[in-house]
Structure 1
């Protein structure tokens, strides 16, 4: 019995020695605005990209400004509706979108601060777009079915009216810090120039160093992506962070290795390690361009969610992670206690990152030259 207990004790000691809880040390930590929640909406694309632009404003001007996410959403829905109706329902109409939709909105309608346009009706404290989207889609389907056989031009006004009721009317002028602005002059004051932002990706089904329209469901606006080899795609992220630029990230978060609760996103080398790797350092999979492409084409990698890359860190074994700001609030990190951030491993980024948006000056000279920027 004593021999058995001695062996059991040795086994427990060995297990503790090789079972390592994550401990992150900051390598790069760029300034960002506080973590907030997108609540019951599918508007991560606006929350993440608005957060990205807020960090850009800090970088450019030193000012910390809370941009209205819902102003971008309000401006984008008419574009979604037009696309859906003109394609006669043969397209997706949903709450989803991508980073370039925020840039398109800014280019057309400028930006406004959150305090000017909250997107909340009187008495509301949280965003919930479930009813609004159902109403809009029901209306649009009536227009598509076209019982009058002639589509009335009033349909666009009807869409605008629904958005006005649920989100609020667009603003023409407002006061901020004692000065009067239009959305366009406010954006100019922030230093944001929409033409400076580009999106890069990495897929082998299109030529590298060229731009193409990535066929994913949320790319309703046919946004263009610059295509890079996978290693260079990761180098773009690293170089941008090293130079003080954050990035907006589109990625897949449906994997078991992604956990807001634990504050990590990892890819276990062995599937048997999937549960344990969320709380213990385990070997991760080596991700090749071929494997990344395979997982994309078999729908194991999808564009589920957008977030904001703000830095890098290492664990106690020297493994590198990207510090990623999420828009699910701060109360979901019950184990990792990372304040609403996710520490995303390099293998996870290589496999599950659909694309990143960044300022074009954040590119290295070599990559900018290859892309002709």
Structure 2
């Protein structure tokens, strides 16, 4: 998830992006349109609620992608009948930072750095490095009780930029060792072995024997008109630093896939844009207003989150245009865990966030399907959760 370039709420971009500003900047900026009466004005009743683990707080780090994807994997463990383990989000992130540094040097510095990442990074790191419990690797190795990555990010970026200037005329064989040492000084060295419930594991054996998921079972899906439907393409966002491929479907099939997954007991990881003024973290509601914000009266803006509102019907042309002009950017990752209805019978997705529990719904939010398909950059889920008709077109069945 990467930097928002539009001026709407620049502070919002910096949480999930290649910059390392505090989470508080984003949360405060998203309170601009909050309503004190919103919680009483919406009456939500759950239709589907996939079991999930407790809400976490990513602190001042752009690691939403790791928190949401690991939350997704924890729910996958529950779905598979396993006892869920709180997985170390920073273990995934730490390994991705090492790989990202290698990629940065290989690309002569022409690729994104920083905290940002994508869901596939967690799957790729799981495949290569395994997994560890949060209790074994907290990433808090520098005197804080929550993530604070600004200083580490500044140092690693400066270091890698020095490496790619190639001052010795050829790369020193020790640059990677020195780079990794900076990361491990802040996050801690990765344990080669550890004890869990009375048994000794390596990260690889823990992933195989305790977590038990198959990395090959998970796919990412997006929707853009510019690419052939039912093919794969490289999602061109800065934080896709590994140039992974996503499957392309029609826009309305994004929500068709999510609905089918939830109804069959699968949760879904959702990446997209949360910088819209119709996204309120404080009130825990996101929708697509019928009117543009600039066309609203002050009274309409003040009433934005005081109960259900009519929505604009999103088209594929609108979605593509928003992506092309940076109105939709890849700035946050969350975990869809259910469906709820408002007092009018309209369905919303229940979305688990990683900004703590300070909002109206204790860390969760309610996102309309129009918002979900309009502002999604990608979703990730188990390939068996995809409806058979779509899976066949994607050659997944």
TM-score of the alignment, normalized to the shorter chain, above 0.5 = yes
Task: Show the counterpart of 2:370.
Answer: 347
Q: Which residue among 357, 360, 368 is the counterpart of 2:383?
A: 360
Where do residues 1-373 of structure 1 align in structure 2 (5 Å cutoff)? 21-121=41-141, 123-189=143-209, 190-271=211-292, 272=296, 273-331=300-358, 333=359, 337-373=360-396
> In 2, are the aligned partners of 1:266 and 1:345 still within 8 Å (CA)?
yes
> In 2, are the aligned partners of 1:262 and 1:279 still within 8 Å (CA)?
no
**Equivalent-residue separation in structure 2 for 1:279 and 1:169 (angstroms):** 48
**Equivalent-residue separation in structure 1 for 2:386 and 2:163 (angstroms):** 45
> In 1, are the aligned partners of 2:142 and 2:186 still within 8 Å (CA)?
no
Deviations 1:268-289 (A, max 9, x none): 1013144422233221110011
How far off is 1:158 after superposition?
Answer: 0.6
How far off is 1:122 after superposition?
Answer: 5.7
- Report which of the two structures shows the higher radius of gyration computed on alpha carbons: 1
Runs of 4+ in 1 over 3 A off after TM superposition: none
Task: Show the counterpart of 1:3.
Answer: none
- TM-score (normalised: structure 2): 0.86
Deviations 1:40-59 (A, max 9, x none): 00000100000000000111
How far off is 1:23 after superposition?
Answer: 1.1
How far off is 1:89 after superposition?
Answer: 1.9
> What value does the CA root-mean-square deviation take over the aligned residues?
1.2
| SS of equivalent to 1:61 | coil
> In 1, are the aligned partners of 2:87 and 2:132 still within 8 Å (CA)?
yes
How many residue pairs get aligned? The number is: 350
Return 5+ residue gaps in structure 2 as ranges.
1-39
Task: Show the counterpart of 2:19.
Answer: none
Return 5+ residue gaps in structure 1 as ranges.
1-19
> In 1, are the aligned partners of 2:74 and 2:87 still within 8 Å (CA)?
yes
- TM-score (normalised: structure 1): 0.92
How far off is 1:191 after superposition?
Answer: 1.8
